[in-house]
Structure 1
């Protein structure tokens, strides 16, 4: 797999992958889960940290990260269903980790929906641990 920075020509392939990987995007009444808005926002803020994975010419994976000067955050890790189990998600995570480490990011955080134990297990295998925190949010 080749990992590179997202290009706007990747938009349709990313939207198709995210529709498959994140069925919660289709939940009515959740405007914050608009994948087109997520792409636009990432392109406006640290677009160099929006990575796609390609197998030959096919886009099979994504990951986005960001760094606020204090710690990093990871979002939108996705791999095509028919390519899972081949190490591509791990490769995308490791690529993102290296990119953040290169600019001095000391810690990478992520949030996982509570109803996704398989996702929690995946990250645990990569060395991530549950922090003893409670996550709060407020829609602006």
Structure 2
């Protein structure tokens, strides 16, 4: 008899921090780059827990965190951030399920549109989102570092 593992998606809990940081350092190489202080995974978690923590989700498989996603909603537009899936488990629908979870959650809040950003060099990531129905908007994304990050490496 084969037991099929069950994937669940739930809200992030502070006890998940170490597992999420490890996953992000695997998925996002910039989180391992000490010259980019704005890419500190602990700071990202701290900031999210202070702002809409109910929109920070983890995917759990056999008791292990294998994916993350964050959402945001300001009453006008929604945002999707930090979608990450364990590299050994990619192309098994985990990322798709995490995106759908955020879409459903934001839809229930009345969000009319969801935005996300993909680094221009990451064509495979762009293709993933396009397969889920996302399209490039006719806009230019601008960024500016604020406060203690103002002198950090330019936005990427």
TM-score normalized by the length of structure 1: 0.98
Which one has a bigger Cα radius of gyration? 2
Unpaired segments ≥5 residues, structure 1: none
Deviation, structure 1 residue 31: 1.1
**2-side partners of 1:55 and 1:101: how far apart?**
25
Does 2:36 correspond to 1:36?
Answer: no
- CA RMSD of superposed structures (Å): 0.6
**1-side partners of 2:31 and 2:49: how far apart?**
19
Deviation, structure 1 residue 28: 3.5
Deviation, structure 1 residue 30: 1.3
1:127 to 114, 128, 133: 133
Q: What does 1:100-115 align with in structure 2 at a 5 Å threshold?
A: 100-115=106-121
Q: What does 1:1-140 align with in structure 2 at a 5 Å threshold?
A: 1-140=7-146
**2-side partners of 1:55 and 1:26: how far apart?**
25
* Deviation beyond 6 Å, 4+ runs, structure 1: none
- Secondary structure in 2 matching 1:134: coil
Unpaired segments ≥5 residues, structure 2: 1-6, 147-156
TM-score normalized by the length of structure 2: 0.88
